[in-house]
Amino acid sequence: MVKGNWALFEEDFWSINQILQTLSRSASARSVMLIDKTGQLINSIGEPPGFDVTSFSSLAAADFAANAQLAEMVGEKDFATLVHQGTTESLYLTMIANRVILVVLFDRKTSLGLVRLKARRAGDELSVVLNRLFNKLQYKNEELTTTSLGADFHAEAESEIDSLFKD
């Protein structure tokens, strides 16, 4: 049985997926990503990005974390939204439910205003789904984490670790 610090289940995953797809389409974004605030990619929708999404996720989380500290220094609770505007590609990042970061990658086919509007709406919807998930995890942890990885998971994982991580 597995008890991660948090877990994402089928039903919540598809709700999230649906919201991200609607956002991607309605904002004419190139792609939309949802990243855990510790830097782990949860889901990615839209054009497959031409970059390493794992690295991207760790940098996006670090970017957000660093900016949260800057906010605190200037007396703000946080900077809930970050925008990085490039010549052709831009990023819009916003924190949802204090736990995950919504990232919208967009180009000149759309505008920051439209992205902001649609991302706000998606953020509200995502908050509902995520808060429902976190409440379930908090109050019904035992019941919800009964999905087993299999009795042999640990033995197999350890064997993989031994075979891959060596000189």
Q: Is residue 40 involved in binding another protein (CB under 8 A)?
A: yes
Shortest spacing between CB 140 and another protein, in angstroms: 15
Nearer to another protein, 142 or 167 (CB): 167
The rounded distance, in Å, linking the Cα atoms of 23 and 8 is: 20
Nearer to another protein, 109 or 166 (CB): 166
Q: Phi, psi (5° rounding) for residue 136?
A: -60, -45
Q: Is residue 162 involved in binding another protein (CB under 8 A)?
A: yes
The rounded distance, in Å, linking the Cα atoms of 123 and 163 is: 42
Shortest spacing between CB 155 and another protein, in angstroms: 10
Of 167, 165, 51, 157, the C-alpha closest to 103 is 51
Shortest spacing between CB 85 and another protein, in angstroms: 21
Q: Is residue 58 involved in binding another protein (CB under 8 A)?
A: yes
The rounded distance, in Å, linking the Cα atoms of 114 and 27 is: 6
Angle at 114 between CA 110 and CA 119, to 5 degrees: 115
Q: Is residue 76 involved in binding another protein (CB under 8 A)?
A: no
For residue 114, give every residue at least 6 positions away whose Cβ sits within 8 Å of its Cβ, in sequence order, or none: 27, 28
Find the part of the chain contacting another protein (CB under 8 A) among 2-10, 20-28, 85-93, 125-133: 2-10
Instruction: Name residues contacting another protein, limited to 110-149 (CB under 8 A).
Output: 147, 149
Applying CB under 8 A, among 9, 111, 135, 140 the residue interacting with another protein is 9
For residue 20, give every residue at least 6 positions away whose Cβ sits within 8 Å of its Cβ, in sequence order, or none: 32, 34, 43, 45, 122
Using CB under 8 A as the criterion, which residues of the chain lie in contact with another protein when the complex forms?
A: 1-10, 12-14, 36-40, 42-43, 52, 54-55, 58-59, 62, 65-66, 69, 147, 149-150, 152-154, 156-158, 160-162, 164-167
